[in-house]
Amino acid sequence: MLVTNKEIMSVAMAKEYAVGAFNIHNLETLQAIVEATTEEKSPVIVAVTPSTIKYAGLEYLTAMIKVVAKAIPQPMSLHLDHGKDVETAEKCINAGFTSVMIDASHLSFEENIAVTKNVVDLAHPKGLSVEAELGKLAGIEESTVEEKDAVLTDPNAAKEFVERTGVDALAVAIGTSHGAYKFKKKPKLDFERLKTIRDSVDVLLVLHGASSVPSWIVEKATKYGAELSGAKGIPEEHIKKAISLGISKINIDTDLRLAFTGAVREILATSPKKYDPRKILGPAKESMKKVVKGKMRLFGSSGKAA
């Protein structure tokens, strides 16, 4: 049965671990997540973005995930990631999602509040939980205090935002960013800011842009022709620290994409006679599964749905 992010995250928060929200792109990504969830006995959040809905179709996606959720005993949520407007959120609410994110972080503070509140008013009566975002995801490396204040989540604004919108979860900007190129110099996150937000705001906290861009994946993909120079992610110790400071949902997309690409490249390069898609996508699924299992162990969610 599908449950909400709020349910999954509240338990994680109380028990001081975090739950991975893994972005799916196709059947194989979902299979990798489900197999990892079963083997690790972990709760899990399946995340779907508007671009994935465009690519795969809302009906196909929801049907696949509902079949899976019925078949496994572990708590699973179906979550809209980076919902871009009220219409998209509404479609997902009606399609059977159990959680929606409305990302109006590019709008002004007041507009972000208005749009987010609109989604909360649609989602809460139907029992879904809502995530919103405040601040802009961006690397901070050598930024001055003023520069950081301009992009990262302001703790006072976060308090007001949560009180006025009634959101269940808030994505915070503390120096992470999406994709494989998160830092030009040394990885740096603003943990002080995270601590202040945690202490002053009564809401579940989410870390986006949390892929670590592991060297084993980058090296494999590069060995078989990928161009990834300068790729850099969030060190695993930073992830552990963020969890200890109150993050209870961690979003991972890039590491799955890299694992998929590395495995496909390897198979195509080393087995030129293979042309059965299942022989090409099977190893890609295994590689993504290895990533998801590793994240569940790192986040401390392994064994929590035993």
Interface segment toward Zn ion; rule CB under 5 A; list 47-55, 70-78, 193-201, 248-256:
248-256
CA angle, residues 23, 27, 29, in degrees to nearest 5: 35
82 binds ligand G3H (CB under 6 A): yes
Closer residue to ligand G3H in complex, CB, 212/302: 212
Helices (H), the chain: 5-14, 27-40, 50-56, 58-71, 86-95, 109-123, 145-151, 155-165, 191-200, 215-223, 236-244, 254-270, 277-299
Q: Which option in Zn ion, ligand G3H, ligand 13P, none does residue 103 bind, with CB closer than 5 to 8 A by kind?
A: none
**How is residue 242 written in tokens?**
């963020």
Residue 234 amino acid letter: I
81 binds ligand 13P (CB under 6 A): yes
C-alpha pair distances (Å), 19 with each of 5, 12, 188: 9, 7, 22
Other CB atoms within 10 Å distance of the CB of residue 119: 27
CB of 176 vs ligand 13P, minimal distance in Å: 7
Q: Which option in ligand G3H, ligand 13P, Zn ion, none does residue 210 bind, with CB closer than 5 to 8 A by kind?
A: ligand 13P
Other CB atoms within 10 Å distance of the CB of residue 228: 17
131 binds ligand 13P (CB under 6 A): no
Q: Which of residues 244-273 bind ligand G3H (CB under 6 A)?
A: 253
CB of 72 vs ligand 13P, minimal distance in Å: 23
Give every CB contact of residue 67 below 8 A, 6+ residues apart in sequence.
none
Interface segment toward ligand 13P; rule CB under 6 A; list 125-133, 185-193, 247-255, 292-300:
247-255
Q: Which option in ligand G3H, ligand 13P, Zn ion, none does residue 252 bind, with CB closer than 5 to 8 A by kind?
A: ligand 13P
In whole angstroms, what is the distance from residue 259 CA to residue 20 CA? Answer: 16
CB of 86 vs ligand G3H, minimal distance in Å: 18
**How is residue 74 written in tokens?**
């572990």
State yes or no: is 121 an active-site residue: no
Residue 287 amino acid letter: S
CB of 54 vs ligand G3H, minimal distance in Å: 9
Q: Which of residues 176-195 bind ligand 13P (CB under 6 A)?
A: 178-179
CA atoms within 13 A on the CB side of 288: 29
Q: Which option in Zn ion, ligand 13P, ligand G3H, none does residue 88 bind, with CB closer than 5 to 8 A by kind?
A: none
- Dihedral pair phi/psi, residue 81, rounded to 5°: -100, 130
Which of 45, 50, 85 lies closest to 169 in space, CA to CA?
A: 45
**How is residue 14 written in tokens?**
């109380």
23 binds ligand 13P (CB under 6 A): yes
In whole angstroms, what is the distance from residue 96 CA to residue 78 CA? Answer: 8
153 binds ligand 13P (CB under 6 A): no
Of the residues 65, 253, 258, 294, which one makes contact with ligand 13P according to CB under 6 A: 253
Q: Which option in ligand G3H, ligand 13P, Zn ion, none does residue 29 bind, with CB closer than 5 to 8 A by kind?
A: none
Question: What residues form DSSP beta bridges with 247?
Answer: 205
Residues making up the chain, counted from first to last: 306
208 binds Zn ion (CB under 5 A): yes
Q: Which residues lie near ligand G3H (CB under 6 A)?
A: 23, 49, 51-52, 81-82, 178, 253
Q: Which residues lie near ligand 13P (CB under 6 A)?
A: 23, 81-82, 178-179, 208-211, 251-255
Q: Which residues lie near Zn ion (CB under 5 A)?
A: 208, 251
Which positions are annotated as active-site residues? 81
